[in-house]
Amino acid sequence: MKQDLKNDRKSIKNKSMASLSRNLIFSSGYFCIAFYICKDRSVWYFVAFLLVYNIIECFFCAGLLKCLQNPIDDMIDTVKKVSQDKYEAQNLRSQAEIFALQSQINPHFLYNTLDTIRGYALLSDAKDIAVMTESLSTLFRYSISRPGEMATLKEELDNVKNYLLIQQYRFPDKVNYVEEIEDEDILNYQMPILTIQPIVENAIHHGLEMKIGKGCIKIKAFRTDSNIILFISDDGLGMSEDKLEELRSKLEKEGDDIYGSPSPGRKKGSGIALINVDKRLKFYYGRQYGLKIRSTLDIGTMIEINLPLMNNSE
């Protein structure tokens, strides 16, 4: 938005300076000719030249206003959009605060209950149940107790491992998990909480759960000069071109309204997790960031997360 305003101001300034320069050159030449012609004539000749000059200046002003109309309208639209975004963002923060307060009501009861179950499991020497209960409790603490917060890439990856540990009990020897971090420094990069785990969950549910045999989920992270790039890929069922275009269309449509509520009639399993993550990333970083999806039927799916490097310290 700031860049748009800057471009609009620059456009108005350049067009104004160009028009005023042309007008100055024209006025200088016009009056030189007028003085040369009228120096030995009646004063009424000069009055006539002034009258013609005023008429020409009226046309010039009208032309200048018409020339500046589009960039001025663009600037007004940009200012309105910025004001609307700030208003909507404030409403979204207020809703998030209310949700955070509401979510504080029951979690302690849930945590205490899970800790109790884990204690009974240990007393009964049911170690698998104890491990699974502890993982579930940790997963809930991470997702419920920190709504709207930022987390490091390392915390996000640890949460993914915790989630996959629970899934291993549901689907023994079903999922092989691989991490590839090219630069350990980016593990401290800050991003919205629950950016990666919903995508991994989506990969298992839609890609690997119905696949025959064992599947693989790979997370690759690296940085460029200006971005942090994450690739989350699976070798699951993939999707057809029509399904892929439908999902991309949903992301683009929802991304145009990053503050709005979910579209009516959207069904579970239709990419809600991906749309939710994409909208949150666009809200935090801007519409040019978010998710990109590539998929081939019976080959697998890859989700690219594109984030700005400049936000690393925020």
Whether 272 and 251 have beta carbons less than 8 Å apart is answered as no
Domain of 173, CATH number, reads 3.30.565.10
pLDDT of residue 313: 46
Same domain, 156 and 250: yes
Whether 207 and 236 have beta carbons less than 8 Å apart is answered as yes
pLDDT of residue 203: 94
pLDDT of residue 169: 85
Q: 125 — alpha (psi -120 to 50), left (phi > 0) or beta?
A: left
Torsion sign over Cα 259, 261, 265, 267? positive
**CA–CA separation, 85 vs 142, rounded Å?**
29
Same domain, 220 and 132: no
Whether 232 and 314 have beta carbons less than 8 Å apart is answered as no
How many structural domains does the chain have?
A: 3
For residues 308 and 143, the model is more confident at: 308
Owner of token pair 């490097």: 309
The first and second tokens of residue 10, run together, are 């620059």
Owner of token pair 């032309």: 63
Q: 269 — alpha (psi -120 to 50), left (phi > 0) or beta?
A: left
Q: 295 — alpha (psi -120 to 50), left (phi > 0) or beta?
A: beta
| Amino acid present at 49 | F
The first and second tokens of residue 194, run together, are 């629950």
Owner of token pair 């045999």: 213
Q: 204 — alpha (psi -120 to 50), left (phi > 0) or beta?
A: alpha
**Could you tell me the end-to-end alpha-carbon distance of the chain, in angstroms, rounded to an integer?**
20
Same domain, 156 and 305: yes
Give the neighbor-by-neighbor strand order of the sheet with 290-296: 175-181, 215-223, 227-234, 300-308, 290-296
H or E, element range at 204: none
Same domain, 231 and 210: yes
Whether 221 and 181 have beta carbons less than 8 Å apart is answered as yes
pLDDT of residue 269: 47
Same domain, 112 and 95: no
Same domain, 49 and 108: no
Same domain, 159 and 253: yes
Same domain, 243 and 217: yes
pLDDT greater than 70 at residue 108: no
**CA–CA separation, 300 vs 249, rounded Å?**
19
Same domain, 173 and 232: yes
The first and second tokens of residue 236, run together, are 């699951």
Same domain, 158 and 276: yes
Average pLDDT, the chain: 79
Residues 218-234: tens digit of each pLDDT: 999 999 999 999 999 99
Same domain, 183 and 92: no
**CA–CA separation, 218 vs 216, rounded Å?**
6
Residues 258-303: tens digit of each pLDDT: 444 444 444 444 467 888 899 889 888 888 899 999 999 999 999 9
Same domain, 51 and 161: no
Range of the domain at 10: 2-102
